[in-house]
Structure 1
Amino acid sequence: MKNIIRDKYEENGLTLLIGPPEGKVLERFGNNSHPLILNFVPKQGVSNVRVEEALSASLSILNMILE
């Protein structure tokens, strides 16, 4: 998976979307044909994750992968 993320980053860059707890963030963009969709905070054990936490967790993981 790390190699896939690195390849996508090198080809076109990455877009990070952080959505609401009820989901459906991709449907709001009107395009459901995304080549790679990842959940960086699965099974967090709470009903939702604050934006600040989601951003920090996601960027930390991406930074580790892309170094």
Structure 2
Amino acid sequence: MSSASSARSGLRGRTVVVPLIPCPRCQATVRYCVSNTEDHEGWVFYRCPNNSATGCDFWFWEMEYVAYLVDA
């Protein structure tokens, strides 16, 4: 199991509160989302509301977003 998988499974059942920042690419406020796909049901991710194939590409799984905030 990868360390990212271990970190994600270790957070199940706990609430992680992180700030919703302005998207660094387009300045829209980043959104908190929960996946409902079969492979990632219940996983938290953060994305720009303008995220699309032709729009903004700011998108991270929860722990990647936390790491992004720490490094920023």
Give the TM-score normalised by the residue count of structure 1: 0.27
Higher relative contact order (CA 8 A, sep 6+): 1
Give the TM-score normalised by the residue count of structure 2: 0.26
